[in-house]
Amino acid sequence: MSAIRDALLVLRDGTTFEGEALGAEAPGGVATGEVVFNTVLSGYQEVLSDPSYAGQIVTFTYPHIGNYGTTPEDDESRRPACRGVVVREPARRRSNWRATEDLDEWLVRHGVPGIGGIDTRRLTRHLRDHGAVPGAFGTADHATLLAAAQAEPGTDGVDLVSQVTTAEPYVVGADDRPFRVVAYDFGIKTTILRHLSRIARVEVVPAGTPAADVLARNPDGVFLSNGPGDPATLPWAVDNVRGLLGEVPVFGICLGHQLMATALGGTTEKLPFGHHGGNHPVRRLRDGVVEITSQNHNFAVVEGVPGAVVTHRNLNDGVVEGIAAVDVPAFSVQHHPEAGPGPHDSAYLFDDFAELMGRHRGDAEGAA
């Protein structure tokens, strides 16, 4: 067993938590990022490997983390993009037949630092009261960590998509699928690709791919993926989405939802502490059905998107969870219908996308 390494977590306002270092050693004993909390009871590996957490330190509210280890099958990306992890009680040993590594080994291999033994209830209450805030943790002294926390910019006004998008296009799914989809990678998750490849041959393209290049691929539909950071830093992505609307069916999730709303003329805002967890209730407005959803976002669409109607709404705080364009074939949701982790109540949205592409193809063939 490795020696215990005392560590501190210090928030920008000076609030301090004592703990023990775990995972990789932070460079110089300091790791920084925007501190957020996630309420999932399981799925910690999927959360930590979700590219949407770029720039953030993830605090798990569930106290016991790591008990079933990790497996490559549950990775949501090539490597974690988060800055670190905060837990109450890290598991001392894994116990699951699928596991190939302990969580601590997985963190070390990917270079992700962590801190355990933290009073995560106190930390979560602080974040709920004061909002997600920059922080620093590690084995450095308190003064060093406080200075690092105060120098950390957080995620406001930072383009994090460029850090996580693919460098080159690649294809997922069999050639015999009924549709051809181009998926923008703003930080796309593996589980999303599994769902999309069930209905389509999917070509994943870098975030900066021009709309004209996407349309030249003659897709049946375009998917706008999840991703990290502030949508206001991505005007080039909004311009590309605007060039696609009306030309081809579009489906967006999370950041893709925010970009589509902005392209339609809407705006976004930052939430106090965001939505991060696998148990958020969302009402589907067309029939009143309540779906329990997986969510991970700090920013949200402001009410009143021109040329669109609200399709879903968060029952906790009323946030717009989904929109559908009125005059063009396009819709999007803020939550994660693919789960990974989380409930599968909203998985039908991928079938809705397939139906939209089928209708649009039929209309195009009829017009021809």
Catalytic residue among 126, 275, 276, 336: 336
Catalytic residue among 46, 291, 321, 338: 338
Catalytic residue among 110, 152, 254, 280: 254
Q: What token pair was written down for 280?
A: 């958020």
Q: Which of 116, 113, 67 has the alpha carbon at shortest distance from 87?
A: 116
Q: How far, in Å, are 310, 348, 367 from residue 215 at the CA level?
A: 27, 26, 19
Contact (Cβ atoms closer than 8 angstroms) between residue 276 and residue 38: yes
Q: Which residue has the tokens 């969870």?
A: 321
Q: List the alpha helices (DSSP H) in 111-267.
A: 120-130, 142-151, 161-164, 190-199, 211-216, 235-244, 255-263
Strand partners, 136: 10, 32
Our answer to whether residue 195 is catalytic in this structure is no
Our answer to whether residue 18 is catalytic in this structure is no
End-to-end CA distance of the chain: 70
Q: Which of 368, 195, 175 has the alpha carbon at shortest distance from 183?
A: 195
Tell me, what DSSP letter sits at residue 254? T
Q: In 3-state terms, what secondary structure has residue 142?
A: helix
Q: In 3-state terms, what secondary structure has residue 85?
A: strand
Distance in angstroms (rounded) separating the CA atoms of residues 66 and 78:
20
Our answer to whether residue 126 is catalytic in this structure is no
Q: Which of 158, 119, 151, 116 has the alpha carbon at shortest distance from 135?
A: 151
Active site residues: 254, 336, 338
